[in-house]
Amino acid sequence: MRQGLVVAVGQHTTTALVLNENEERLLADIEQFFLALAPPQSPWLHNDLHLRRDIPADEPRNAHAHLIALMLGNQLSLPVLLQLRLEA
């Protein structure tokens, strides 16, 4: 295959897919940015586990993860183009 499209889809509602630089300080900035927008310690209603029905005993308090994933999205499409070099 010389060209095509890679489509990645997260299968969980707290999964987010993005493409960015893999640079340590940038990744820390991104984490800090999203945790400031949706702090885990905020009183999110989704985290009131005692008020929800039929949840497993090990259910995490993860409302912030759902909110961050909403901002980022859970799918990514990347074009793939391979250039072939012809040697004379």
Instruction: Give the model's pLDDT for residue 88.
Output: 67
Domain of 63 in residue numbering reads as: 3-81
Q: What is the pLDDT of residues 4-36, one digit of tens each?
A: 999 999 999 999 999 999 999 999 999 999 999
Confidence of residue 53 (pLDDT cuts 50, 70, 90): very high
CATH number, residue 30: 2.60.120.460
Report the pLDDT averaged over residues 78-84: 86
CA dihedral 55, 56, 57, 59 (to 10 degrees): -80
- Asked if residue 63 belongs to a domain, the reply is yes
Q: Is the pLDDT of residue 44 over 90?
A: yes
Cα gap 65→13, rounded to integer Å: 9
- Asked if residue 88 belongs to a domain, the reply is no
Count: domains in the chain: 1
- Asked if residue 28 belongs to a domain, the reply is yes
- Asked if residue 51 belongs to a domain, the reply is yes
